[in-house]
Amino acid sequence: MHHSEEMIVKDYNKNLIQITKAGSAVFADQIRFVEQLPRFYDFDIKTPYKDLPEEVKQVFINGSEGKKFKFQWESKTFSGELEREFEGI
């Protein structure tokens, strides 16, 4: 499912972490994945959204569309590497 960038990104001067934290409770679970996106795409997580490469914006909004990544994950019930697709925000 494709989402509208305008619905998600309210301030194009904010970075992906700031946008994710400012979003709904649904976004909160995605923060761990968003923090790790620079491992797979060559960009600085502190870069304002407006200055990000188009590919990074598309993955952030719409997900990796079938491409799986190995995310580092740590929670109360699991610690380790988790391979999964990024669903987007």
Higher local confidence (pLDDT), 13 or 81: 13
Take residue 30 and report the two structure tokens written for it. 């995605």
Reply yes or no on whether the pLDDT at 26 is more than 60: no
What architecture (CATH level 2) is domain 5-85? Orthogonal Bundle (1.10)
Tell me the pLDDT tens digit for each residue of 44-69. 999 999 999 999 999 899 888 888 87
Mean pLDDT of 14-20: 92
Tell me the pLDDT tens digit for each residue of 70-88. 777 777 776 778 777 777 7
Q: Structural domain boundaries of the chain?
A: 5-85
In this structure, are residues 88 and 61 in contact, taking their beta carbons and an 8 Å threshold? Answer: yes
DSSP string for 11-77: -TTS-HHHHHHHS-HHHHTTHHHHHHGGGTSSS-TTS-GGGS-HHHHHHHHH--TT-EEEEEEE-SS
Reply yes or no on whether the pLDDT at 7 is more than 60: yes
Secondary structure (3-state) at 79: strand
Give the DSSP letter of residue 84.
Answer: E
